[in-house]
Structure 1
Amino acid sequence: MPTIKYQGEVVECEAGANLRAALRDAGLSPHNGASSYLNCGGHATCGTCAVAVEGEVSDPTDAEQRRLSFPPHDPDAGLRLACQTTVEGDVTVRKGDGFWGQRQ
């Protein structure tokens, strides 16, 4: 069973689990501040669940690449949208500062 390391916590999830859902199921949020309430609900349109991920995950989706290609995000920053990322093995996740988590 893959593990997700995030904010000092270790969460287990099924292989193939959606990262955003796995974090939320564990009582953790991939959002900063008010974006916990003001987000698109996992449709890759707002970009507030952007995180840095190290480990085995799915390839970026087209929707994810589109959203991360315009401000405040930078397509070269290497961030992923938790709502579009599938956990395939053990991962370490970091959330940056800012409303969208874009400041690493």
Structure 2
Amino acid sequence: MEKNKMAASAILTPKVGYGFADELKRARFWVRMVLVKPQDADVLGRNYMVAMVDKRRFGCLVVVSDDSDFVEVFQEATLRWLKTVVVGDMSDGALKRIANAFFSWSDLLMGK
């Protein structure tokens, strides 16, 4: 019975973020938490990327995500001759197919 309670608790307890915030902060990245709706983080990230692409603030767009919500941003960046890189773990993700380069998060963690 105790195992069932623990399993149910893990399923029913909502997670704050996706668990990467502490790791990113430890790596000295600035992290902005979004807690309102699940898609708010995607919208915020997409809007920021579009603004930076419009302002030509960088020559290479690197995203650590497998989220296909960013495909349109990657397409626009490619049309503007920016290099695109995806770090993720989906073997056949939409971002992987459109990016100039893809790196597996698992491989990077193992030092490959």
Which structure features the higher share of helix residues?
2
Whichever of the two has the greater Rg, that structure is 2
TM-score for the superposition, normalised by structure 2: 0.32
Which structure features the higher share of strand residues?
1
Higher relative contact order (CA 8 A, sep 6+): 1
TM-score for the superposition, normalised by structure 1: 0.33
